[in-house]
Amino acid sequence: MNPFRSPCRALAKHVSRRSSAVLAPAASSQQQPVLQVQLRYASAGTARPKTAIFFPGQGVQKVGMLTPWIEAFPVTAMPIIQEIDDTVGYKLSSIIQEGPGKVLTLTPNAQPAIMATSILILRILEKEFGFKTSERADFMLGHSLGEFAALVSSGYLEFEDSLFLVQKRAEAMAAATRRAEEEYGGEYGMVAIVSEPEYMPSLINAIHEFVGYSSLGTKSESAEDWPPIDQVLIANINSKNQIVLSGNIERIKTLVAHVRQFSGHDPRAVRLKSDSPFHSPLMKPAVTVMQSLLAGTSRVKGRDGEDIVTWPGKVPCISNVTARPFESKAELKDLLARGCLETVRWWDSIRYLDQEQKVRRWVGIGPGYVGRNLVGKEVGMRGKDTIKGGGVWAITDPSEIEEVLRGLEETECLVDEE
| Residues annotated as catalytic (active site), given as ranges | 144, 279
* Ramachandran category for residue 163: left, alpha or beta (phi over 0 → left; psi -120 to 50 → alpha): alpha
To 5 degrees, how large is the angle CA 81–CA 63–CA 401? 65
Dmax (CA) of the chain: 67
CA geometry: angle 347, 353, 356, nearest 5 deg: 115
Provide the angle, in degrees to the nearest 10, between the axes of the packed helices 401-410 and 9-18: 140
Neighbours of 111 (CB within 10 A): 26
In the chain, count H helices and then E strands.
17, 12
Cα–Cα distance for residue pair 21/37, rounded to 1 Å? 9
Say if residue 18 is exposed, middle or buried (CB neighbours under 10 Å; 0-12, 13-18, 19+).
Answer: exposed
- Torsion sign across C-alpha atoms 85, 91, 97, 101: negative
Strands 50-55 and 139-142: parallel
CB 362 within 8 A of CB 349: no
The region, left, alpha or beta by phi > 0 then psi within -120 to 50, assigned to residue 273 is: beta
Containing H/E element for 348?
Answer: helix 346-351
- Helix, strand, or coil (residue 415): strand
Residue in 283, 246, 262 with CA at minimum distance from that of residue 210: 262
**Distance between first and last Cα of the chain:** 13
| Cα 51 from Cα 316, distance rounded (Å) | 12
SS3 content of the chain, % helix, strand, coil (to 5): 50, 15, 35
74-88 vs 107-129: helix axis angle to the nearest 10? 150
